[in-house]
Amino acid sequence: MILRASLSALLCLLLAACATAPALPARSPALAWPLSLHVQRLDGPAEAGLPEDSLLVIQAEDDALRWSLFDPLGVPLARQRLDQGAWHNDGLLPPNPAARELFAALLFGLVPDDQLDALYPAADWRREADGSRVLQGRWRVTAAGPGRLELRGPAGERYRTEPLANGDDAR
């Protein structure tokens, strides 16, 4: 009886974990990779394990996208590969669920309007009257220009991104 109750509880936890996983696109969007972003956590450093300021580099590798998040000193915080619609740990860093969720929301925000319908099922997202997008009723993303996003998460966490200038832009 105790074993049965334990198995039922475990199954419920697994189903809850699956239900809270953020939606991912059917394939990688057509964007100019690599992309380097300054990510600011606007509600302060948090229990989620992400600092107030970080650097995110997104690189295309064959059909996959590699996501690398660094603190201001260059120490890696999270490395993930999005390959065939699933996240995979990349390297020796421990899993970082908060970063993975943020990456999924950022990818949703980076997808150009003309690609949204092809990449995300209509049931997974909606556009609000103010022009913002909502992913699964959890993440609200407002675009302020290419790579400039404001994100609000399901627990009230808030982020802002802006592109970092590359060497070609500095001339």
Query: Given this model, what pLDDT does residue 11 score?
Result: 42
Question: What confidence category does residue 21 fall into, taking pLDDT thresholds of 50, 70 and 90?
Answer: confident
Token pair in block for residue 89: 């740990």
Q: Of 98, 97, 101, which is closest to residue 139 (Cα–Cα)?
A: 101
Q: Which residues pair with 145 in a beta bridge?
A: 148
pLDDT of 5 reads: 47
Cα 27 to Cα 87: distance, rounded to the nearest angstrom: 13
Instruction: Report residue 17's pLDDT band, with 50, 70 and 90 as the boundaries.
Output: very low
Q: How confident is the model at residue 51 (pLDDT cuts 50, 70, 90)?
A: confident
Cα–Cα distance for residue pair 43/34, rounded to 1 Å: 28
* 149-161 pLDDT, tens digit each: 999 999 999 999 9
Q: What is the spatial distance between Cα 17 and Cα 89, in angstroms, rounded to a whole number?
A: 17
Give, as one character, the DSSP assignment of residue 20.
T
Does the structure show a pLDDT above 50 at 10? Answer: no
pLDDT digits (tens, 9 = 90+) for 58-67: 999 988 999 9
At 20, the pLDDT band (50, 70, 90 cuts) reads low
Domain spans of the chain, in order of start: 21-163
Does the pLDDT at position 15 exceed 70?
A: no
**What value does the mean pLDDT take over residues 84-104?**
93
Q: For residues 11 and 9, what is the distance between their CA atoms, to the nearest angstrom?
A: 5
Alpha-carbon distance of 99 to 67, in angstroms, equals 10
Read off the pLDDT of each residue in 117-131 and give the average, rounded to a whole number: 96
Per-residue pLDDT band at 166 (split at 50, 70, 90): low
* Size (the chain), residues: 171
Q: Which of 95, 107, 98 is nearest to 64 (CA)?
A: 107
Q: Is the pLDDT of residue 126 over 90?
A: yes
Quick one: pLDDT band at residue 85, thresholds 50, 70, 90? Answer: very high
Q: What is the DSSP string of 21-79?
A: SPP--SS-----SSEEEEEEETT-S-TTS--SEEEEEEEEETTEEEEEEE-TTS-EEEE
Report the pLDDT value the prediction gives residue 129, as an integer from 0 to 100: 97
Q: 0.85 cut: is pTM over it?
A: no
